[in-house]
Amino acid sequence: MGDVLPLLGMLLSVVVILYLAYWVTRRVAMGSGAGVGAAGNNIRVYDRLVLGQNKSLVIVRVGVRWLVLGVADGQITLVTELSEEESRIWRQPRQVGEKAAPPRFADILSDALRGKKHDKQQGGDE
């Protein structure tokens, strides 16, 4: 019985250290602006859609431009640039206490891509 108590004490110490490391890591990640809504002076991430492991689509405002970016392992690709009309959803200020659900990212992206295809088809008919 005398050998079990120090072993339990060591196990408890390891569990506490692991939990504290997890907690500090979460705090640092939130404080560094790594999540959606992270903002710099001229760059802001407005939305993110996870597509799979290490793959996502991101809506970003850079200055006055609105971009849809594909993010994968070590690579960022421009998917499309949103027009003024397409970006108005993210430009609208939220009212305090507003309960309306934001539009679904996937719906907006499919509308934007559909509009780009339609523009290309009409441009090729001329």
Same domain, 81 and 48: yes
Query: Could you tell me if 47 and 89 lie in one domain?
Result: yes
What is the pTM for the complete model shown? 0.47
Instruction: Provide the residue range defining the domain that includes 5.
Output: 1-32
19, 78: one domain:
no
Average pLDDT over residues 4-17: 90
Cβ atoms of residues 57 and 45 within 8 Å: no
Cα 97 from Cα 99, distance rounded (Å): 6
If asked whether residues 52 and 74 sit together in one domain, one would say yes
Span 39-65, pLDDT tens digits: 567 888 888 888 888 889 998 888 888
